[in-house]
Structure 1
Amino acid sequence: MSVKQAATIDEVIQLLDEIIEKSKLEQSAIGLFAILYREVTVKVKEGIRDGSFQNGERMEKLDVIFANRYLKAYYQYQAKEKPSECWGFAFEQAEKFWPIVLQHLLLGINAHVNLDLGIASAQVSTVEDIGDLKSDFDQINAILSNLVGGVEKCLIKIWPTLTMILKWTGKMDTFFIDFSMQTARDGAWKFANEFVAVPENQIEACIQLRDQRITEIARLVSNPGYFVSAVFKFIRLFERGTVAQKIMDMQIMEENNMECAVA
């Protein structure tokens, strides 16, 4: 299988659509993050069109570089090649029964924001001008954070048992979202500022070291301790429907602008 890469935001959306449809056919939980990421990409495209970003041309370039890192990892994994370690871990978890929907989303966010976003941000910048990117960088993260929060509300409607459990446990899902998004945003920006200054002959070693650190965060999301893991397993037992049905539920959320109008 060849590694498909996008040249425009529209091509990113097209390739994500292909991944989503393939995931439904194969009952693969990989499609859950792909749905969320497609919505992020659509929102970025709309923001560029509406002039919401400081530099729309730079933002489209960043978005495509950012997406191509995910696409490369996906196609490498499908071809049984070795992607970055944190993406490989996330994709492996998608083949397992126990992770809940929210964990699948957070594993994707962890790899894509903590590793890929910092690299992409550095690649559209120089040491001298990377500070000019900060506002647009934060806006991408705000879009992602808002969409994850919307998914959380919709999941509660799809799986009513979740409401009772979250009240009982003090909303551990919100903790995980806050942990993932706030830590990812700040860490990715710090990494981008460090990475943009790395000499060319040290780039691969720097990426590998960062990848290892982000994989450790992924392991925490996957196995957050005995009590939380037990609660998540209880939630998983009450998740209804096949993986394909869950992906379609998330597509309905997207089509209804995350208004939770799920049939």
Structure 2
Amino acid sequence: MPAADTPPRFGEPDSFDAAADELQTLIDWAKGAEHRIGYFAAVYKRTTLALKQAAEANAFEDGERMSRLAGIFATRYLTAVNAFFRPDEFTLTESWRASFDQLDNPRPVIVQHIQAGINAHTAFDLGMAVNEITGSRNVDSVRVDFLAVNAVLASQTEDMLDKVEEISPRLRAILDTVPGDEALLIGPAIKWMREEAWAFVKTLEFFPGMTFNVIPADVKDSWVGVLTRSLFNGLMAAVFDEIGEQESRDVRRNIEVLDAVADDVANVETTL
């Protein structure tokens, strides 16, 4: 039976498990609909499960708070998905609009869709989620766990990158020209995004309360949208076009490959 034209309306998960369940529902729908929204959703599920594993290993100063943060964080993504498919009921941020606008375009490759999702969710949503859970007050109290979260995310990139390379031979060929372990390139990039996200958190601290955070949040949202759109234009697009020449365009199979590795969490690290 073909998938419905739109996925189910998603709720507001309040824990790692609830977030993973909602993401799996989206992934399963994306497989049936052969919809590229499943690419980032699979990667996100992997990081959610890795964060749960880290929390169970007492890797965070406050595991219960991190579980609540995971729910708030996932809710921002799932609300964006709701807004994309139900624009009359939800408001879509510019960060996610720049990413989702490309989902019906057959030209972008898998890593473009994944990176666009990372931009929106890490550069904008993460700061907003931390802001919500702290109320923009005493945000330094979450700094240690914030750093650990980003280290966990970085530790999961190698396995996911290996799977993307399986279905994108030209990407593998390009990365093979890089001396050493190409996965090590991800660390500096994540550190940069981590510090940018933390700078956003600290900016919001100067404007306690969601009402007063509207202006800095809107500015950040717009800037992330511009950054994301640059992935699909100009020189960046030309580079990705080369990758696309040999990449699998079987959306369902690609999502299945990513989803399989998403369930196999390993090598969780909490320092970067």
Which TM-score band (shorter chain)? 0.7 to 0.9
Instruction: Classify 1:174/1:104 alpha carbon distance in 2 versus 1 (closer, same or farther; 3 Å).
Output: farther
Contact 1:32 1:101 in 2 (8 A): yes
Q: Which residue of 1 aligns with 2:75?
A: 68
Taking every aligned residue pair, what percent have the same amino acid on both sides?
26
Work out the CA distance in 1 between the residues paired with 2:112 and 2:16: 27
Work out the CA distance in 1 between the residues paired with 2:102 and 2:194: 23
Work out the CA distance in 2 between the residues paired with 1:86 and 1:236: 24
Q: What TM-score do the two structures reach when normalised by structure 2?
A: 0.84
Work out the CA distance in 1 between the residues paired with 2:62 and 2:244: 42
User: What runs of 5+ residues in structure 1 fail to find an aligned partner?
Assistant: none
Work out the CA distance in 2 between the residues paired with 1:85 and 1:151: 27
Kindly indicate whether residue 43 of structure 2 is the aligned counterpart of residue 36 of structure 1.
yes
Equivalent residue for 2:138, pick from 129, 132, 140: 129
Equivalent residue for 1:166, pick from 165, 169, 175: 175
After TM superposition, give the deviation of residue 234 of structure 1 in Å.
2.0
Equivalent residue for 2:228, pick from 218, 233, 254: 218
Instruction: Classify 1:180/1:98 alpha carbon distance in 2 versus 1 (closer, same or farther; 3 Å).
Output: farther
Work out the CA distance in 2 between the residues paired with 1:21 and 1:240: 19
Contact 1:151 1:258 in 2 (8 A): no
Higher helix share: 1
Contact 1:154 1:253 in 2 (8 A): yes
Contact 1:106 1:180 in 2 (8 A): no
After TM superposition, give the deviation of residue 66 of structure 1 in Å.
0.9
After TM superposition, give the deviation of residue 211 of structure 1 in Å.
0.3
Q: Which residue of 1 aligns with 2:238?
A: 230
Q: Which residue of 1 aligns with 2:66?
A: 59
Q: Which residue of 1 aligns with 2:26?
A: 19
Instruction: Classify 1:119/1:151 alpha carbon distance in 2 versus 1 (closer, same or farther; 3 Å).
Output: same
Kindly indicate whether residue 99 of structure 2 is the aligned counterpart of residue 90 of structure 1.
yes
Provide the aligned length of Structure 1 versus Structure 2: 256
**CA RMSD of superposed structures (Å):** 2.5
Work out the CA distance in 1 between the residues paired with 2:23 and 2:175: 31
Moved more, 214-223 or 61-70: 214-223
Contact 2:95 2:228 in 1 (8 A): yes
Contact 1:8 1:60 in 2 (8 A): yes
Moved more, 230-239 or 16-25: 230-239
Contact 1:90 1:108 in 2 (8 A): yes
After TM superposition, give the deviation of residue 31 of structure 1 in Å.
0.6
Equivalent residue for 1:253, pick from 261, 264, 270: 261
After TM superposition, give the deviation of residue 199 of structure 1 in Å.
4.2
Work out the CA distance in 2 between the residues paired with 1:127 and 1:15: 27
Kindly indicate whether residue 163 of structure 2 is the aligned counterpart of residue 154 of structure 1.
yes
Instruction: Classify 1:88/1:156 alpha carbon distance in 2 versus 1 (closer, same or farther; 3 Å).
Output: same
After TM superposition, give the deviation of residue 242 of structure 1 in Å.
1.0
Work out the CA distance in 2 between the residues paired with 1:175 and 1:213: 27
Instruction: Classify 1:41/1:109 alpha carbon distance in 2 versus 1 (closer, same or farther; 3 Å).
Output: same
After TM superposition, give the deviation of residue 20 of structure 1 in Å.
0.4
Alignment of 1:239-250 (within 5 A): 239-250=247-258
Q: What TM-score do the two structures reach when normalised by structure 1?
A: 0.87
The letter of the residue matching 1:220 is S
Q: Which residue of 2 aligns with 1:143?
A: 152
Deviations 1:155-208 (A, max 9, x none): 22333333323346889x879846752332111101111113314432222221
